[in-house]
Structure 1
Amino acid sequence: METKYQQINNNVEVLDENPNQDIATDAILTEQGGSEELNDNDVVIVGMAGKFAGCDNLDDFWQTIMQGKSVLRTTKRWPERSEENWIGGFIEDYANFDANFFKISPYEARCMDPQQRLLLHTVQHAIDDSYLALEDLRQLKCGVFTTSLPGDYKFLLTGNPEMAFSPHSFLGNASSTLSGRISYFYDFKGPSLTLDTACSSSLIAINEACLNIQAGNCNAAIVGAVAVFSTPELFQFAQRANMSSRQGKCAAFGEEADGFTPGEGSASLVLMRYAEAKSRGLRIYGGIAAIGINHDGKSNGLMAPNATSQAMLIRNIYQRSAINIEKIACVETHGTGTHLGDPIEMRGLTQAFKEFKQDYDCFLGAIKPVIGHTLVCSGLAGIIKVLLSFLHETIAPFPAISEPNRMIDFGKFRMNAQPLPWPAEKPYYAVSAFGFTGANGHVVLKKYPSYHCTDLQHQHSDKEMAFCLSAQNTNSLSVNIQQLMHTLESIAPDELYSLSQLLLRRPRYDIHCVVTAENKTVLMEKLNELTIKINDGKEISSQQTTTLSEEMHMLASLWLTGDIANLNSMLKPVGLINPALHLTGYGFDGLRYWLEETLDPTEKLRQKNDSVKSKDLILAQLKQSISNLLEFPIDSIKGESLIENLGLDSLSALTILAPYQKGKSTIKAHDLFSYYTLNELAEALIDIHASGTSSSSSSPLIAPSPISQSSVGSNLPSLKWLSYGHGRQTVILAPPLNTSMEAWTQQIPALIKSGRRVFVPQYPGHRNSPFLEEKFSWENLAGEIAEFIRSELQSGSVDLVGWSFGGCISSLVSIRYPELIRSLVLISMAPSFCENVFGNTIGLHDELRDKQDILEVIFGSDNIINSLSADAPMNILRHYYEALTSFNIEDDLKNITTQTLLVRGKNDCVVDDASFTRLTKIPHSKSIYYEEHGHYIPLTASRSFNEKLIEFLDSVQNHV
């Protein structure tokens, strides 16, 4: 790299060190970086991801930074305009999106601003890079703090009014959806904010994340920023305002600087407290030593930068956090390449440093000359550059300029033309970002010690190891394999064990397998063989792991069976693995979703009015309707397609069911979600057209199969049973008192999907069933369930899930007949009840009303209480309440020997905390508490509850 100057104004010294100087990190188990005291409350970065022009991942990004060459170019994105006018940093696959991964229909994906789509990809990659399980992030009340450009994709939508005014377009182009969609998809309950302060947005988003973590509003946070240009609108504006570079470059701090050049980017970080990261053994890329924001106030103009305000911000931050400027190695500048803005920024920086009256020797950095000005994303782009500098122990070269700006006094700041080894005595690297409306942000990042252990590199040397591969489909699996092979090319042979450990921490998706190998050569060969298998459409299967060492066999087995809790307890902490060993994120199966591509019109459905239709015809109509509405290829929609996976919402349901709402039919939109597959919906629609009534009142889930009671003992109370699904494992769901099977409306499909058969008992006197007082007792109810398991199911043992009253019966069955019960789940249940148990249940109505908005999605707008009721008359319920007041298994809890999951909501008005706590006397039990829920957790927290329920049942089954 040629250097055309050595000294300007007696201040700027350009260093041209030997480019071949060794700058490798020391692979030792010692502290690297500064000796500054580490504070447990500091916020640190444990995961990161980014995509920029010419850089699909962070490995590419670092290589581009080190080369210091611009990736700015012209684009053919807008062929109707002269492409030579539009030079910028463009992302190649800006329109690609893996809609299936995020459970979004093709139609909705086309309605979405590409910024929302791209940031979803990047956030997933940042989570992958943190090696944190989603459940861990949920438990940490993960917050989401995002920013994007004011979207211009909506201008394209105006050319298609039907799409432009659809709910999907409204949601898909609202800025608030950016953070909300991330929180929704991952089920994060922490703060969720979308911010806009122009070019300082992403630094201010980090500031908000830190404040919320320190205030306890969340214990982890995801920060994301994205900038994508759907139209040349911004380029036109910048050109007309003489803000953009006519040369199509960004000569930050250079004499030739004539404006900025826009660039695209998407970036994300995962943050948490140092104490939290340390306790989890996570990899720490760096910490936030100081951060702050301010505004220019009234200056020369709203868009004019203010050196005094920028200096004040830096000075205040450093004073507040006791930052020693002598220990700042480098400052990553805003550096937009404007002839006026660069001198103002430099004046603010030198002014702030001079006020400390300390000697300093600091380098300057600038990323915009390489990838362009990514606007709202520029702060995160700079921060990720800094974190990569920490990782590689290197100060990257300043992008070449012909001559520094003659208007600038650089003080003691310098530019290095070649990469330099990181100065061990300087742990700090600062980053600035300034918005064009006066919002300023500045952060000081701290280089944290690296504790990676070189001993890991020698473990399992020349022994077979397990390498886990997984994806949601074979296309993504192929991408993951290619990415892994690329990684293998650059890692040392003795790092295979570390690679195996990292892959074991990646999520296990629907398609998964284990490849075994003892060295790089064998692993590459087997990955090639697997790729050929996938391309030939052959079945993917795992290799035998019995030949592995005991430890490696156990790890592979736990991963294959999805026993994540036990797996994580056996894995080495990520922080002990060489941080230079970096895996790329999930290989998305991206398809192009763009409005300019109009799909071939399909013939619209012509529905017959009141005639009874055959199942095949109705199924064909449903498939065509869903294809028309959501743009799924019709061949991909099957009769066995799960309704929950089609990306439907209540508005889509209105359109799909509209043809069947004519005549006497009373079917409602929410009834669509009462069925498991399209086949079951089609069958139900035949009945609805025949009878003219909705089936939701009698079968809100899937059509149950009644079980004959003839074989059950005549001396027992005579329960009625409903059966769902045909899986190998059997689950009995015992509902609360006077509650119909609709109480389990969210669990039954999930359990069936997990490969289980479900049975639900209907208690005597419920739904007009007979009630014989002389046969009614706890022992008889438990005995009848036991007899049903023996005589009707003949399955050896079952998983028994009891809720409230159903929990009482279930616990008694487990005590009296332990050989029949494989596992036990008790929800909102106590080992005994007070005499006022009936009075306490009155409060349940209030809970249902408070959760009306959630429950209406499940049951529609009808009276929720009536929807759940099993219509037991009070003269029969009196016997049940009397039985509850006499129920007491306190002394028998120790006799429950099966694995037990206990579930309670903190706001339960029937079961108090003390009563529930007594259940923990059950020997093999674990408890789950829901802070913001009460008695109706399976309904009001169904998504989280279902995941925990199936995870528990799977773990029990895996140990049987």
Structure 2
Amino acid sequence: MTSEPRSEVNGPHRGRSEPIAVVGLSCRLPEASGPAAFWELLSEGRDALTDMPADRWESISGDPVDGIRRGGFIDGIADFDASFFGISPREAVVMDPQQRLLLELTWEALEDAGIVASTLESSATSVYVGTAREDYTSLVYRQGSSAITQHTVTGTHRGIIANRVSYALGLNGPSLTVDTSQSSSLVAVHLACESLRTGESDMALAAGVNLNILGEGIGGAEQFGGLSPDGRSFTFDARANGYVRGEGAGVLVLKPLSRALADGDRVLSLILGSAVNNDGATPGLTVPSGAAQERVIRLARERAGVAPDAIQYVELHGTGTPLGDPIEAAALGAALGTLKADGDPLRVGSVKTNIGHLEGAAGIVGLIKTVLSIRHRMLPPSLNFETPNPDIPLGELNLAVNERLSPWPRPDRPLTAGVSSFGMGGSNCHVILTEAPARPADPADPDPAAVDPAADPAD
């Protein structure tokens, strides 16, 4: 991409309702080093939760952290090819691993999109990264003044996570690290789409990252009362008793559909609309508002311009908590389930049952799961569901947990889904996405029956 003058395709006159194309993605998640491995994990219905690695058990006091130690973890978070990104070893050692991981995954996402990173220099490409943790900062400062260098401030400042990507690639679009607690990364996607639709950006990188590298983090979550003592997330199940912490990251490459088509991009799926709101005053700061969740889902659907019957699946926030699950189910049933007139229950599921709750990165992981489900035209199972939560009347709400790998309910219709993510401080986000349009055959193609790479689920 160059900094050519803006046109009807890449200029500021795009429609506010133009679909946003997902043209590339990458991820690194528990037991999944990339999108193909992630789909394999999902489709096989595997649980990637394990005991916490031994090197993360120590607290600041030096004592092992007691309590629940299961979670979803990724390997090699200390590994980083600093020279590849032109970073000195001295600077790299004090960089938050979340910065390093985002640099690597951004490069992988651009490769997946078929974009040469060097062509983006000086372009109006934006970066929006959702995150909610800065464990590495505590680890650095616990070492004392001898560990502080000229690179410590930029290496540990959370706001630099997005800026690091913009700097490395020479991008001139907006560059924001977004923190709305657990909904951070899906809100980052929403903001990226808005930036594209207004013409503020020509292309956007939307991401989420979460690394659990501080013993106090799990101790705090346990004291808060949110963790499952069983080390499992029983979403919508009668056994629901809390969530399990997970970690990893994901990156999406986004363009307005008109630009993606003009550029000849492979379009993985389309984001039709999204919305963000807040719970406002509730009985407690972390008590969800069903009314607010219902409103944000309705608003996202209205912005997407689709009827309730069009939505066949929703990737839940789905933490598996006894308080949150019934509230989310009631809101979803009121906003979508009971409004469906086609007789089909709305299928639902939660990736948290596979890899845990990625907190600030949770929303984008649910979105990537849904993009892959659309691409493969299959819905993976939501795990640990045996007996419905008695406080969730699935039949009355017209909801059904997707318990096994299965085709979409109406594969003859456009595969359309919603993704929810709710922050514990009340910042709610919902995104509606659908399958990519069929690309017209190239008249110059000698074999019109050749498989289009955009329709190849294994691509």
| Map 1:104-503 → 2, pairs under 5 A | 104-138=87-121, 140-162=123-145, 164-353=147-336, 356=339, 358-359=341-342, 361=344, 362-410=346-394, 411-422=397-408, 423-451=411-439
- Which residue in the other structure is 1:59 paired with? 36
Q: CA deviation at 1:63?
A: 0.8
- 1:87 aligns to 2:74 (yes or no): no
Distance in structure 1 (CA, Å) of the matches to 2:374 and 2:444: 22
- The separation in 1 between residues aligned to 2:391 and 2:96, in whole angstroms, is 41
3-state SS in 2 of match to 1:167? coil
Distance 2:441 2:330 in 1: 44
1:237 deviates by 0.7
CA distance in 2, matches of 1:56, 1:312: 36
C-alpha distance in 2 between matches for 1:39 and 1:200: 23
Question: Letter of the aligned partner of 1:234 in structure 2?
Answer: G
Contact 2:196 2:255 in 1 (8 A): yes
Give the SS at the match of 2:371. helix
In 2: Cα distance, 1:349 partner to 1:216 partner:
32
Shift of 1:171: 0.6
Deviation at 1:175, TM superposition (A): 1.0
Identify which range, 248-257 or 317-326, moves more after superposition: 317-326
- The one-letter amino acid paired with 2:456 is P
Say whether the 8 Å CA contact 2:20–2:270 is kept in structure 1. yes
> Is the Cα–Cα contact under 8 Å of residues 385 and 403 in structure 2 kept in the other structure?
no
Cα offset for 1:135? 4.8
Measured on the aligned residues, the alpha-carbon RMSD in Å equals: 2.5
CA distance in 1, matches of 2:343, 2:174: 39
Q: Which structure shows the bigger proportion of residues in helix conformation?
A: 1
Report the Cα offset of residue 200 of structure 1: 0.7
Q: Which stretch has the larger CA shift, 345-354 or 194-203?
A: 345-354
SS at match of 1:384: helix
Name the stretch that deviates more: 39-48 or 340-349.
39-48
Shift of 1:445: 0.4
Matches of 1:198 and 1:578 in 2, distance apart? 35
| Offset at residue 134 of structure 1 (A) | 2.8
Q: Is the 8 A contact 2:247 2:358 kept in 1?
A: yes
- Quick check: 2:422–2:429 contact (8 Å CA) kept in 1? yes
Secondary structure of 1:111 counterpart: coil
TM-score (norm 1): 0.43
Paired position in structure 1 for 2:456? 579
User: What is the match of residue 56 of structure 2?
Assistant: 78
Alpha-carbon distance in structure 1 between the residues aligned to 2:399 and 2:73: 31
Query: What is the correspondence of 1:533-548 to structure 2 with a 5 Å cutoff?
Result: none
Once structures 1 and 2 are overlaid, which stretch shifts more, 318-327 or 189-198? 318-327
Return closer, same or farther for 1:236/1:108 CA change in 2, 3 Å cut-off. Answer: same
Q: Which of 44, 47, 50 is matched with 2:24 structurally?
A: 47
**Count of equivalent residues:** 433
User: Using the alignment, how far apart are the partners of 2:130 and 2:446 within structure 1?
Assistant: 44
For the Cα contact (< 8 Å) 2:337–2:398, is it kept in 1?
A: no
Q: Distance in 1 between matches of 2:343 and 2:335?
A: 12
* SS in structure 2 at match of 1:414: strand
1:369 match: secondary structure: helix
Structure 2 segments unaligned to the other structure (5+ residues): 1-14, 59-63
Task: Report if the CA contact (8 A) 1:452-1:579 is conserved.
Answer: no
1:77 aligns to what SS in structure 2?
Answer: helix
Residue 107 of structure 1: how far off its partner (Å) = 1.8
- Larger gyration radius, structure 1 or structure 2: 1
CA–CA distance in 2 between the matches of 1:355 and 1:183? Answer: 44
Match of 1:539 in 2: none
Q: Residues of 2 paired with 1:326 and 1:357: CA distance?
A: 5
Alignment CA distance shift 1:266-1:452 (3 Å): farther
SS in 2 for 1:85: coil
1:436 counterpart letter in structure 2 = M
DSSP-derived class of the 1:101 partner: helix
Q: 1:354 to 1:453 in 2, by over 3 A?
A: closer
Secondary structure at the aligned position of 1:240 is classed as helix
Residues 397, 157 of structure 1: alpha-carbon distance in 2 compared, 3 angstrom cutoff: same
How far has the Cα of 1:132 moved from its partner? 1.6
- The alpha-carbon distance between structure 1 residues 39 and 144, as it changes in their structure 2 partners (threshold 3 A), is closer
CA distance in 1, matches of 2:232, 2:453: 42
* d(CA) in 1 for partners of 2:428, 2:355: 22
**Which residue identity is paired with 1:77?**
D
**Structure 1 regions of 5+ residues with no counterpart?**
1-37, 460-493, 499-574, 583-960
SS at match of 2:85: coil
| Cα separation, 2, equivalents of 1:172 and 1:246 | 35
What is the aligned partner in structure 1 of residue 4 from structure 2?
none
Question: Is the CA contact (8 Å cut-off) linking 1:431 and 1:444 kept in structure 2?
Answer: yes
Is the 1:39–1:274 Cα contact (8 Å) retained in structure 2? Answer: no
- Deviation track 1:869-889 (CA, whole Å, cap 9, x = no partner) reads xxxxxxxxxxxxxxxxxxxxx
- Match for residue 9 of structure 2? none
Aligned counterpart, 2:12: none
TM superposition shift of 1:213: 0.9
CA deviation after TM superposition for structure 1 residue 210, in Å: 1.1
Write out per-residue CA displacement over residues 607-631 of structure 1, whole angstroms, 9 at most, x where no aligned residue. xxxxxxxxxxxxxxxxxxxxxxxxx
| Structure 1 segments of 4+ aligned residues over 4 angstroms from their partners | 354-357, 452-459, 575-578
- What amino acid maps onto 2:428 in structure 1? N
Q: Deviations over 1:80-104 (max 9, x none)?
A: 5268731100101122111111111
Distance 1:455 1:263, change over 3 A: farther
* Larger RCO (CA under 8 A, 6+ residues apart): 2
Which residue number corresponds to residue 8 of structure 2? none
SS in 1 for 2:209: strand
Judge conservation of contact 1:453–1:578 (CA < 8 Å) in 2.
Answer: no
How is 1:897-936 mapped onto 2 (pairs within 5 angstroms)? none
Q: Work out the CA distance in 1 between the residues paired with 2:155 and 2:385.
A: 41
| Partner-residue secondary structure (3-state), 2:270 | strand
> Secondary structure of the equivalent of 2:152?
helix
Matched, 1:97 2:91: no
Note if contact 2:118-2:169 (Cα within 8 Å) is conserved in structure 1: no
C-alpha distance in structure 2 between counterparts of 1:300 and 1:40, whole Å: 36
Cα-to-partner distance string for 1:368-393 (whole Å, 9 max, x where unaligned): 01000001111100110111111111
Conservation of the 8 A alpha-carbon contact between 1:44 and 1:273: yes
Deviation at 1:77, TM superposition (A): 2.4
Alpha-carbon separation, structure 2, partners of 1:168 and 1:138:
24
Q: Report the secondary structure of 1:108's partner residue.
A: helix
Percent identity between the aligned chains?
Answer: 32
* Alpha carbons 2:210, 2:248 under 8 Å: kept: yes
SS in 2 for 1:431: strand
Matched residue SS, 1:100? helix
Matched with 2:6 is: none
Query: Contact 1:147–1:178 (CA<8 Å) still a contact in 2?
Result: no
Amino acid aligned to 2:137: K
What SS class does the counterpart of residue 129 from structure 2 fall into?
A: strand
Give the counterpart letter for 2:457 in structure 1. A
